Amino acid sequence: MKTIILVTGSTAIDQTGIYDGSFEDYQASYAIKAFNVSFQLADMRTSFGGCAPNIAHGLTQLGIDAIPLSSAGRNFVDQYKAHLISLGINIDFIAVADDVANCASCMMINDVHGNQVIGFYPGPDNPRRQSPETLPFIDNIALTILGPEEPELTLRQGRILFEHNVPLMVDPGQVISAFSRDQIRELLKLARYLVINHHEFEVLKTNGGLTDEEVFDQVPEVVLTRGDKGVAIYSREGICHVDAVPDVKVGEVTGCGDAFRAGYAYGIVNNLNLTERGQAGCIMAARNLENPETQRYRITATELAILRTTIYG
């Protein structure tokens, strides 16, 4: 049997706008009050996304049996389903809410430097969605990635999987601001791995009333992603820094974090060391970055191993 990684999170149909300029320059040129801004966009497109299918896409290409546990609206059936099947992704546990028209949606505006302004609709609260303990393969899950979803749903799933001794990679992402102090503290107690970007980490600490050291003491492995500055990994073994892949042409920043998590999770289940895990994640993120849209990049486990050697030595 292949290694199984369960991926919870949204299944989304995303809207992405391209701002042919710099947010920083805009901010320097115009006074922003109460965050009222207006960008003239150079392009606008719709693409398939959502953390669960995005991460599953990366892992599937690396030979991992990655199974999304998610909910979707009715537009999944005629707009998204065939696409995921064509990628070889298991859709058996993506529950469609017949009374909700739309899947989750992330509305993004990207500038020329890869910065983003994001609005996120998490999708339907679907009673037909399976609870983890009912999954027929629960005893064979090597790792679960808890992607960004509503706090109570995230914690409910996390508790069940924790009780079944399934290691949890926690990725609260853009939903972290919705977590209360107590919810954040419980989430960290469940986590074996925390993967989070620098801004979200600051929100987590503020809402949780925590210091850096308190988070690092609580979670055995904390991965802070910093875009083109690479990643910092804090573990019981110490601190490990991994540089981002250099000289990558920006095609699409959306989904890079999900691609990184796929690479990092691949490193965990294949017993790579901290540095190698970070390298695998950065390579996957770069592969996503240089391709237009999410779920468009292609890579194999063999190619990933070769790239780790050629890029990082």
- Tell me the CATH architecture of domain 4-312: 3-Layer(aba) Sandwich (3.40)
Alpha helices in the chain (DSSP H): 23-29, 51-61, 75-79, 81-86, 151-163, 181-190, 198-208, 212-218, 256-269, 274-289, 301-312
CB-CB neighbours of 114 under 10 Å: 15
pLDDT of residue 1: 61
Sign of the CA dihedral 110, 114, 120, 124?
positive
pTM, rounded to two decimals = 0.89
Q: How far is CA 70 from CA 77, 87, 161, 188, 305, in A?
A: 14, 17, 15, 22, 30
Per-residue confidence in pLDDT tens, the chain, 313 aa = 678 999 999 999 888 888 999 998 988 888 877 778 888 999 888 889 999 999 999 999 999 999 999 999 999 999 999 999 999 999 999 999 999 988 988 788 988 887 888 887 777 778 889 999 999 999 999 999 999 999 999 999 999 999 999 999 999 998 999 999 999 999 999 999 999 999 999 999 999 999 999 999 999 999 999 988 999 999 998 999 999 999 998 877 888 999 999 999 999 999 999 999 999 999 999 999 998 778 989 999 999 999 999 999 8
Instruction: Give strand ranges (E) for 39-140.
Output: 43-49, 65-72, 94-96, 105-110, 116-121
User: Of 116, 113, 120, which Cα lies nearest the Cα of 17?
Assistant: 116
- Taking the mean position of all CA atoms in its chain, how far away is CA 219? 18
211, two tokens: 């210091």
